[in-house]
C-alpha cells in the first residue's frame, strides 16, 4: 500500500498555525479556559478557506487553462 502526502505550505497556513499555537499557549498560560481559542478559531478557518477560495477563483488549482 502506497500513501503519498503532499502539503503545500503557504503564508496563510503558516500564519494560521502561528495563531493556533499562540492561542493555545495563552489560554494555558493565563488559564483563560479557551476564551482566546474561541476567537482565534474562526480567524484560522477564514485564513485557510479564504486562500483556497481565492486560488480557486484565479484558476491556480485548475491546470487546464
What count of other Cβ atoms lies within 10 Å of the Cβ of residue 49?
11
DSSP structure class, residue 61: S
pLDDT (tens digit per residue) in 3-28: 888 888 888 889 999 999 999 999 99
pTM exceeding the 0.85 threshold for the entire prediction = no
Domain locations in the chain as residue ranges: 11-57
- Tell me how far apart the 2 most distant CA atoms of the chain are, in Å: 52
Amino acid at each position: 500500500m502506497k500513501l503519498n502526502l503532499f502539503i503545500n505550505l503557504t503564508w496563510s497556513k503558516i500564519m494560521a498555525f502561528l495563531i493556533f499555537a499562540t492561542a493555545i499557549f495563552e489560554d494555558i498560560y493565563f488559564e483563560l479556559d479557551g476564551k482566546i481559542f474561541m476567537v482565534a478559531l474562526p480567524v484560522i478557518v477564514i485564513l485557510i478557506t479564504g486562500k483556497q477560495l481565492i486560488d480557486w477563483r484565479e484558476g491556480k488549482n485548475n491546470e487546464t487553462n
